[in-house]
Amino acid sequence: MCGIVGYIGGKNAVDIVLNGLKKLEYRGYDSSGIAVVKDEQLQIRRSIGKLKNLKENIEKNPLESNISIGHTRWATHGKPSEENAHPHTDPTKSIVIVHNGIIENYAELKLRLEKEGKEFKSETDTEVIAHLIKKHYKDNLLNAVQETLKEIKGSYALGIICKDEPNKIVCARQNASLIVGAGKGENFLASDIPALLSYTRNMIFLENGDIAELTANEITITDIENNVKKREIKNIKWDCVQAEKEGYKHFMLKEIYEQPRTIEDTFRGRIYPDEGRVYIEEIKLSKEDIKSISNIYVVACGTAYYSGLVAKFLFENFAKIPTEVDIASEFRYREPILNDKVLIVIVSQSGETADTLAALRLAKSKDCTILAVCNVVGSSISREADHVVYTHCGPEIGVASTKAFTGQLTALYMVSLDLACKKESLSKEEIKKYLKELWEIPVKIGDFFKQSETVYEVAKRFANKRDFLYLGRHVNYPIALEGALKLKEISYIHAEGYAAGEMKHGPIALIDDDMPIIAIAVKSKVYEKVISNIGEAKARGATVIIIASESDKTASNNGDNVIYVPDCDEFVSPILSVIPLQLLAYYVAVVLGCDVDQPRNLAKSVTVE
Ligand code: M6R
pLDDT tens, residue by residue, 252-298: 999 999 999 999 999 999 999 999 999 998 899 999 999 999 999 99
Q: In this model, does residue 607 exceed pLDDT 80?
A: no
Architecture of domain 449-592: 3-Layer(aba) Sandwich (3.40)
Q: In this model, does residue 240 exceed pLDDT 80?
A: no
Using DSSP's 3-state secondary structure scheme, residue 502 falls into helix
Mutational pocket test of ligand 1: of 251, 298, 303, 582, the residue with most ligand atoms within 8 Å of the beta carbon: 303
2 is catalytic: yes
Least confident of 25-29, 276-280, 330-334: 25-29
Q: What is the largest CA-CA distance in the chain?
A: 81
Per-residue pLDDT at 604: 80
Atom of ligand 1 nearest to the CA of 301: 6
Per-residue pLDDT at 243: 76
Per-residue pLDDT at 27: 76
CA-proximal residue: ligand 1, atom 4 (nearest)? 348
Per-residue pLDDT at 76: 80
Q: In this model, does residue 606 exceed pLDDT 70?
A: yes
Per-residue pLDDT at 523: 96
162 is catalytic: no
Residue ranges per domain, the chain? Answer: 3-244, 449-592
| Residues 8, 19: Cα–Cα separation, whole Å | 14
Q: Is the CB of 401 under 6 A from ligand 1?
A: yes
| Residues 138, 140: Cα–Cα separation, whole Å | 6
Q: Is the CB of 360 under 6 A from ligand 1?
A: no
Using DSSP's 3-state secondary structure scheme, residue 326 falls into strand
Amino acid, single-letter form, for residue 96: V
Q: How many CA atoms lie within 13 A of 571 on its CB side?
A: 22
β-pair partners for 228: 222
Ligand 1 center from residue 176 Cα (angstroms): 27
Q: How confident is the model at residue 425 (pLDDT cuts 50, 70, 90)?
A: very high
| Residues 278, 238: Cα–Cα separation, whole Å | 42
Measured in degrees and rounded to the nearest 5, phi and psi for residue 599 equal -65, 150
Mean pLDDT, range 373-399, rounded to an integer: 91
Per-residue pLDDT at 565: 97
Considering 50, 153, 538, 604, which one is annotated as catalytic? 604
Task: Return the CATH class of domain 3-244.
Answer: alpha beta
| Residues 486, 256: Cα–Cα separation, whole Å | 12
Burial class of residue 60 (count of CB atoms within 10 Å of its CB; 0-12, 13-18, 19+): exposed
Q: In this model, does residue 194 exceed pLDDT 90?
A: no
Q: In this model, does residue 122 exceed pLDDT 90?
A: yes
- In tens, the pLDDT along 453-484 reads 999 999 999 999 999 999 999 999 999 999 99
| Residues 374, 49: Cα–Cα separation, whole Å | 20
CB 461, CB 317: distance < 8 Å: no
Per-residue pLDDT at 25: 86
Mean pLDDT for all residues in the chain:
94
Per-residue pLDDT at 1: 60
Ligand 1 center from residue 343 Cα (angstroms): 22
Q: Is the CB of 350 under 6 A from ligand 1?
A: yes
Q: Which of 384, 389, 394 is nearest to 374 (CA)?
A: 389
Q: How many CA atoms lie within 13 A of 154 on its CB side?
A: 26
Kindly list the distances between the CA atom of residue 273 and the CA atoms of 287, 440, 487, in Å, as whole numbers in the listed order: 21, 10, 35
Q: Which of 556, 551, 563 is nearest to 450 (CA)?
A: 563
Mutational pocket test of ligand 1: of 606, 608, 609, the residue with most ligand atoms within 8 Å of the beta carbon: 606
Taking each helix axis from N to C end, the angle separating 403-423 and 428-448, rounded to the nearest 10 degrees, works out to: 170
Contacts of 193 (CB under 8 A, 6+ apart): 179, 203, 236, 238, 243, 246
- In tens, the pLDDT along 439-460 reads 999 999 999 999 999 999 999 9
Q: In this model, does residue 70 exceed pLDDT 90?
A: yes
Considering Cα of 566, then 374, then 269, then 162, what sign does the dihedral take?
A: positive
| Residues 129, 495: Cα–Cα separation, whole Å | 50
| Residues 431, 434: Cα–Cα separation, whole Å | 5
Kind plus residue range of the DSSP H or E element containing 345:
strand 342-348
Per-residue pLDDT at 244: 80
Terminal C-alpha separation, the chain:
29
Mean pLDDT, range 76-99, rounded to an integer: 93
CA-proximal residue: ligand 1, atom 12 (nearest)? 302
Mean pLDDT, range 379-401, rounded to an integer: 92
